Amino acid sequence: MTSKANIRVRPKETEQEIDEKGYFVRQKNHFTVPFGDGEGKLPVEAGRYRLIWAKGCHWSNRASIVRELLGLEDAISINLVGRGKHEQNLGWEFVYNENQTDPVLGVQFLSELYANGDPDYKGRPTVPAVVDVTTGKVVNNDYVWLTNYLEHEFAPFHQAGAPDLYPSELRTEIDRYNDFLFDNVNNGVYKAMFAQSIEAYNDAFDHLYRALDSIEERLADSRFLFGDYVTDSDVRLFVTLARFDTYYFKNMGPLRNRIVDFNNIWGYARDLYEIPAFKNNTYLRDLAKSNGDTSTIFIDYNTRFWAQIDYEGLWSAPHNRQEKSADPEHKFQTRQ
């Protein structure tokens, strides 16, 4: 569908997204036209779109979880990208497919689909990316709202009895809390990992742990963030928690606490992991795998112990979170 000229070297965050004080300032999403009815919106149609995501990327992982939770597998197709070995970093590639080529879209690199959507695009080709299979163009990469579109605009294609992750009576509160999670937790870990000044790092670190402390307190008497049932906010928090002790810790500097050191948060994370859509879309061992340098005296933790750690066992350990719910047998509220 595209020319190899559309394969582009991936820009580096530490060169393109750092301000004058050393703070990481994430690039803005480029394809933000919303899904919905009416002029100027992307039509909501079953079979028209393909969701591209990556195991390591929590921004895209939450979309893959919500897609499965809602039973949208037949309405929206899906594929994974990863990193291939090249002389230069060419970004996300369809490394899990034969000939490293997406069988539906006929391309090797995500950047080709971004170029289809906008030939002048100069930013990082990111996931999640929603591609219109009729044109081969990326039409939406707006992780901020994508799960909400799946929950609301794509409701006609939900499976019977699908959970209501974005209930109308909580929508304003969920949006507000999602902003808090983005700034302090979801993007907060990246603010610390990409910080290029100690001032920026300390600021991100402090905001992150203040947020985690507040979440630990919030979960003391509540099974999930908004009470007895899983909402969109829980998906957004979970994907960061799943990566914290398995991967992020390597680049976070001296940790005040691991996730396993927060009694309520750790039990909450395991409670969510029991749900098939969460477990099926969370590749813990892949997240933790390291290709570290083994020629030095000091070898990183994941390289030394990756094969010896029972990630599935750790995340499947019993918990008592159901005791905090007035409806302990159910984790979801269905749409009224």
Taking the alpha carbons of 197, 200, 205, 206 in that order, is the dihedral positive or negative?
Answer: positive
Nearest to 133 by CA among 33, 72, 70, 51: 51
103-107: list long-range contacts, CB under 8 Å, 24+ apart: 104/50, 104/77, 104/79, 104/133, 105/1, 105/50, 105/131, 105/133, 105/136, 106/1, 106/136, 107/1, 107/2, 107/136
Per-residue tokens: 136: 């081969």
Mean pLDDT of 151-160: 97
Per-residue tokens: 308: 């010896």
Q: How high is the pLDDT of residue 4?
A: 63
pTM across the whole model: 0.94
Per-residue tokens: 215: 């979440």
Number of Cβ within a 10 Å radius of residue 257: 13
3 state DSSP class of 202: helix
> pLDDT band at 28, cuts 50/70/90?
confident
Catalytic residue numbers read 57, 190
Task: Give the H or E element holding residue 171.
Answer: helix 171-181
Mean pLDDT of 14-26: 80
Write down all domains in the chain, each with its CATH number in brackets.
7-157 (3.40.30.10), 168-324 (1.20.1050.10)
Per-residue tokens: 19: 């301000």
CA gap 311, 318 in Å, rounded: 14
Nearest to 302 by CA among 315, 285, 282: 285
* Beta-sheet pairing, 129-132 with 92-93: unpaired
Q: How high is the pLDDT of residue 290?
A: 79
Q: How high is the pLDDT of residue 7?
A: 82
Percent of the chain with pLDDT over 90: 80
Higher-confidence residue of 292 and 288: namely 288
CB 173 within 8 A of CB 163: no
Nearest to 127 by CA among 163, 87, 78, 183: 78
